[in-house]
């Protein structure tokens, strides 16, 4: 399937194949979107616009320079949706699925590549895991589309209503953040509990990760079969699942409370809404900021206190082995644990009575530092080539690198150089953490064979 052997003198490794698969998909998508049948007017779309749209689709970001519902034809929208689905699951997973359907056998290198693509620690039962991911994805997206259709079909009619339901469901689950409803994202549904609730559930399910999905389902089934109490079921979950679920809930609830307080009287966001809608939209904002990209009010209306927390939440993103971006919840939590262990003079980091390996701590630090470095570099470049307000530029770059898709009204006004900077940011945000984990999981290099005497360095 994936040639990791020598090709014309070049030896491709999983670390190279994974980013290359995304890049090739983006280029193919851009070429398809350039063609006249992809635009509503039947004209050729400029390359940079097509490239930007293909990148935001494959990288499941959601930033757009042209309105998805207005510029693209039905065929163009179908191409965008396919690219988003590929981006959410990963090109490697899609290719592997085709191999399974055609009955082709997997080599050892294929299994290792899939393991890296899903960021798993073992290749054991990998094909079974892949099958469950695909079935689970299609099932959840189908249920989401049915629930959306309850609202969209009466409003738009059967053909358009069904298409809007399918598009929104896939986009929400893949954390892509694009829609074909209109120019205001979900602002027209800010008082609609059904649409916003379905969207939040799809975002969260896509963002918590497939490993947590399957662990939770298995333990709940076992608990129901053996009449376990909820506390016993919770205790039987893996430490990873408990960490992801508890920290995700803390971020969602804490973020909702924060936005409710800071934006309560802000007429540009939720200030003019009734109390129930304020609460619903604060909760939605807390969820969508962690790589979803849907919006119920203009993000440029956020005050600076809210923007600061928005930056942090976008950088954190979702959880490992899911469709979300960001440095991931577990990575951020391990950084906090590292600080806590140092301050409390503990020699090890312990979560749910399980110690965290030194390798995991080093991975977390490396992913965070490189990701923050990318944000700083791309922010500087954007300010140099497209001078705008710093808070807007930072919001745009953090949103792109975190594959979030929210903007303070800047995306459409970017010049060609600014768009290229954001294209690069989205690509780095999608493949950066994956590639870093793959790189850091390699066997120790020959450099580790050389040991040096310990030096004295003053820190802090």
Q: What is the pLDDT of residues 348-379, one digit of tens each?
A: 888 888 888 888 888 888 888 888 988 999 99
Q: In degrees, to the nearest 5, what angle opens at C-alpha 199 toward C-alphas 154 and 136?
A: 105
Does 322 have pLDDT greater than 70?
yes
H/E/C letters for each residue in 374-421? HHHHHHHHHHHHCCCCHHHHHHHHHHHHCCCCCCCCCHHHCCHHHHHH
Q: What is the mean pLDDT of residues 244-273?
A: 94
Q: Is the pTM of this model over 0.95?
A: no
Does 25 have pLDDT greater than 50?
yes
Does 97 have pLDDT greater than 90?
no
Q: What is the pLDDT of residues 203-251, one digit of tens each?
A: 999 888 888 888 898 899 999 898 889 899 999 998 989 999 999 999 9
Kindly write down the DSSP assignment for every residue of 51-70, as one continuous string: HHHHHHHHTT----SS-HHH
Does 299 have pLDDT greater than 70?
yes
Identify the pLDDT of residue 79: 95
Nearest partner of 374 among 320, 318, 426, judged by Cα:
426
DSSP label of 177: -
Q: In degrees, to the nearest 5, what angle opens at C-alpha 118 toward C-alphas 116 and 120?
A: 70
Does 424 have pLDDT greater than 50?
yes
Give SS3 for 132.
helix
Kindly write down the DSSP assignment for every residue of 274-319, as one continuous string: -HHHHHHHHHHHHHHTTTT---SS-GGGS-HHHHHHHHHHHHH-S-
The residue whose two tokens read 């965008």 is 80
Q: What is the pLDDT of residues 27-79, one digit of tens each?
A: 999 999 999 999 999 999 999 999 999 999 998 888 999 999 899 999 999 99
Does 252 have pLDDT greater than 50?
yes
Beta-bridged to residue 384, according to DSSP, are none
Q: Which residues contact 428 (CB under 8 A, 6 or more apart)?
A: 374, 378, 401
**Average model confidence (pLDDT) across the chain:** 85
Q: In residues, how long is the chain?
A: 460
What's the pLDDT band for 182 if we cut at 50, 70, 90?
confident
What's the pLDDT band for 136 if we cut at 50, 70, 90?
confident
Identify the pLDDT of residue 208: 87
State both tokens at 189: 């549904």
State how far the alpha carbon of 16 is from the alpha carbons of 21, 117, 200, 431, in Å. 9, 11, 34, 10
State both tokens at 396: 């745009």
Identify the pLDDT of residue 8: 47
């Amino acid at each position: 399937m994936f040639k990791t052997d020598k090709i014309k003198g070049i030896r491709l490794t999983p670390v190279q194949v994974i980013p290359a698969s995304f890049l090739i998909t983006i280029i193919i998508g851009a070429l398809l979107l350039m063609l006249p049948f992809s635009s509503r007017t039947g004209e050729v779309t400029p390359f940079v616009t097509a490239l930007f749209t293909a990148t935001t689709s494959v990288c499941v970001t959601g930033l757009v320079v042209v309105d998805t519902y207005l510029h693209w034809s039905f065929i163009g929208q179908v191409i965008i949706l396919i690219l988003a689905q590929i981006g959410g699951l990963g090109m490697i997973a899609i290719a592997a699925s085709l191999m399974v359907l055609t009955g082709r056998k997997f080599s050892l290198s294929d299994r290792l590549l899939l393991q890296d693509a899903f960021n798993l620690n073992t290749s054991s039962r990998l094909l079974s895991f892949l099958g469950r991911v695909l079935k689970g994805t299609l099932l959840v997206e189908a249920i989401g589309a049915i629930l959306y259709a309850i609202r969209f079909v009466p409003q738009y009619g059967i053909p358009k209503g069904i298409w809007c339901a399918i598009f929104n469901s896939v986009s929400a689950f893949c954390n892509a953040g694009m829609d074909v409803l209109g120019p205001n994202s979900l602002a027209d549904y800010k008082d609609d509990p059904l649409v916003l609730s379905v969207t939040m559930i799809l975002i969260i399910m896509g963002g918590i990760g497939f490993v947590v999905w399957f662990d939770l389902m298995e333990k709940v089934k076992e608990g129901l079969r053996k009449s376990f109490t909820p506390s016993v079921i919770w205790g039987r979950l893996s430490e990873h699942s408990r960490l992801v679920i508890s920290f995700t809930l803390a971020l969602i609830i804490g973020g909702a409370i924060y936005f409710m307080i800071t934006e309560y009287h802000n007429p540009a966001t939720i200030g003019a809404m009734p109390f129930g809608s304020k609460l619903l939209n604060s909760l939605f904002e807390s969820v969508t900021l962690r790589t979803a990209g849907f919006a119920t009010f203009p993000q440029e209306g956020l005050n600076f206190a809210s923007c600061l927390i928005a930056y942090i939440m976008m950088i954190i993103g979702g959880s490992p082995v899911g469709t979300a971006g960001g440095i991931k919840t577990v990575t951020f939590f391990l950084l906090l644990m590292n600080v806590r262990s140092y301050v409390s003079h503990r020699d090890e980091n312990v979560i749910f009575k399980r110690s965290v390996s030194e390798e995991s701590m080093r991975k977390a630090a490396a992913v965070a530092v490189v990701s923050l470095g990318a944000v700083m570099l791309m922010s500087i470049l954007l300010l140099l080539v497209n001078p705008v307000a710093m808070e807007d530029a930072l919001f745009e770059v953090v949103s792109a690198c975190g594959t979030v898709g929210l903007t303070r009204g800047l995306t459409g006004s970017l010049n060609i150089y600014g768009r290229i900077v954001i294209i690069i940011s989205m690509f780095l945000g999608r493949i950066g953490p994956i590639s870093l984990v793959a790189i850091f999981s390699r066997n120790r290099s020959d450099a580790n064979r050389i040991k040096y005497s310990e030096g004295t360095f003053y820190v802090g």
